[in-house]
Amino acid sequence: MHRRPGHGARTLLMLVHGLGGRRYSTWGRTPEFLFEDLVDVDIGLSDYSSGLRRWRRAASVDLARHAENLADTIRDLPYERFVLIGHSMGGLLCQAAVKDLLDSRVRDANGALVVERVAAVFLMATPQAGVRVPTPLARLTRDGRVLRVHSRFVTELQRRFNDQLTTDPARSDGFERILLPVYAATASADRWVDDLSARLGIPRQRIKTARGTHTSIIKPASRHDDVYQWLLGRILASLEPPALATVLSRSRPGHTSVLTAWRRYAIVDDDRLFGVKDKIATMVEAVDDSAGSWAVSIFGGGGIGKTALAFEVAKECVRRTSFSRVAWASAMNAAPSTHSDASEPATAYWRDVVRTIARQLDLRVHHDDLSAEELAERLSALPSGERLLTIVDNLESVEDATSAVQRLHEMGLGRPHKILVTTRWPLLTENSSLVTSFEATNLDFDSTMALIHYLGRGDSDLRAADTSKLESVYSVSRGNPFLVKLIIREYLTTHRSLDRVIHDLKQFSGEENRRTLGEQVYTTLYLRSVDALRRLCGSTNADLLMAAFISHESGHSFSQDDLARLSGLGSTAEFQYTLRAACQLSLVRAFDFKQRYAIHSLLYDFLLLILAGGKPY
């Protein structure tokens, strides 16, 4: 059992594995994600002997007895609501527990039927009509007798569910039935449970058909997995009302909570972070502080982990219940707008960002053409005491970030609300006390080594490698998390040596339909920044400045006078503006009290290939 610290949750999610499964390994990261995403829910993982585990035990219990134990758990534990999630035969066990509660008609201290505390049942690849079990197995084993097609066990379950339960509150046929929503997930490549058996008796709108196998559909690789998103949304819908009052009372029935919907918009590699625990804690305090600045920015170069930091900060603020509503918009993912004008942020298509924010904040958006003025009007009508957190990710130029924050503030999203943005450079505002900026930096050597060992924990060589064998990864990546992950994952999936993978980081194919590792790096780390530099300063000035950096060997640093002379721009205002913009976009690094300037060795190699080959940025 995984319980919330400090207070008693009102809802328990019970996960029940299938034939031959185990409490944790069956579900992958599903329990972890659910525990983090549902702020007022405890997680229970049921375990029982089945398959080979049953044969190893001298005295094993049949499935009906396991169902009685699960029903007793629902009766005895002090939760207001239960959600049962069963995989394969575990789904039958969940149904059997409900049947036991129906048959016993047991009531709680208030006289209500205990079965009515079950808010929903999720059947994940469950053989409701049984499966075609080989004859010897069907005759000789308890599990086989339960699972065979139209067995007495599954037939009785279906009869009882049809006679005494309804999944539709509007259903009226003269019979009194208990309302219990039942959902089903089916796998397109399921070799064990056929589609008819998995869907039996469940309305089409409560069924999720997913690409995957019998076991893979319950092991999400990330929170963006479509089955996990479906499961999370239906759990939230089934708990409205009355449970999860601190979160769900603000949601509309049938819609994902305003404190979880934002996760679907956050495109992030949601995995363990290294070397940033203290930094995240400081950022959370700044975002949480209602008396502090009304905007917080996380700035740094490409691939440095700004989005991951913002995601962790938002998660912790939600866990603290610091905000009543949260919205996440990515300027990079905004669709082109036909209504934009020069007064709006240049990179972010503003109306699309505004619509995205309005939907997540549950502001009753009834049309697509929502203006900033309409959003401001809806915000002003919110009840007093509401506090909103708005995150705008991937603002690639400082002008965009500053303009976006100013517009959001004008719409009413400033204090007591909070705005969090990620960009390449700290925000420029007339009053610096209004904005708190945090720089996302490369990992240090030790944190880089920890990340490498974590990524390679399934590879015996990487797991045992000492730091001397991994120094080349740090040397080329300089602790950039994106580069470290790219190198290690390429090594693990291609079975090439680390030296070969690092060599390939610097290669361009020159072919339109073939994207090399080097081109992936350039596109992710540099392309958007170079595009922004050319847009802000003009293509000619941008190209002349960047070409100056490849006039000497890699690693060479330049003074301002050197760059002015080598670029041919001279010590002009245009040169100063272009150099400043290149620094702000993290293409150029200033050091030695801003007297020397240099670029990353990878960018140097890319510029050689691109400019020398006459290829466009």
- Please check whether residue 228 is in contact with residue 220, taking contact to mean a CB–CB distance below 8 angstroms: yes
- Please check whether residue 193 is in contact with residue 127, taking contact to mean a CB–CB distance below 8 angstroms: yes
20 burial via Cβ count (<10 Å: 0-12, 13-18, 19+): middle
Q: With 0.85 as the threshold, say if the pTM is over it.
A: no
Structure token digits, residue 471 = 């120094």
* Cα three-residue angle 429-431-435, rounded to 5 degrees: 70
pLDDT tier at 323, thresholds 50, 70, 90: confident
d(C-alpha 236, C-alpha 406), whole Å: 34
Residue type, 275: G
Q: What is the pLDDT of residues 494-533, one digit of tens each?
A: 777 888 888 877 665 555 444 566 666 767 667 777 887 8
Q: What is the pLDDT of residues 26-79, one digit of tens each?
A: 899 999 888 888 877 899 998 876 544 454 443 344 677 888 888 988 988 888
Closest to 327 (Cα-Cα) out of 360, 363, 371, 364:
360
Residue 174 pairs in a beta bridge with none
Q: What is the pLDDT of residues 282-294, one digit of tens each?
A: 999 999 888 888 8
In CATH terms, the superfamily for domain 261-439 is P-loop containing nucleotide triphosphate hydrolases (3.40.50.300)
In CATH terms, the superfamily for domain 11-248 is Alpha/Beta hydrolase fold, catalytic domain (3.40.50.1820)
Mean pLDDT of 411-428: 82
Closest to 218 (Cα-Cα) out of 18, 49, 493:
18
Domain range 517-612, CATH architecture: Orthogonal Bundle (1.10)
Enter the DSSP assignment of 20.
Answer: T
Q: 3-state DSSP call for residue 319?
A: helix
- Please check whether residue 273 is in contact with residue 305, taking contact to mean a CB–CB distance below 8 angstroms: yes
d(C-alpha 454, C-alpha 148), whole Å: 43
Q: What is the pLDDT of residue 250?
A: 37
Mean pLDDT of 468-483: 86
| Domain extent listing, the chain | 11-248, 261-439, 445-504, 517-612
Q: Evaluate whether 11-248 and 261-439 have a shared fold.
A: yes
Structure token digits, residue 509 = 């194919």
Closest to 164 (Cα-Cα) out of 182, 153, 180:
180
pLDDT tier at 141, thresholds 50, 70, 90: low
d(C-alpha 228, C-alpha 239), whole Å: 17
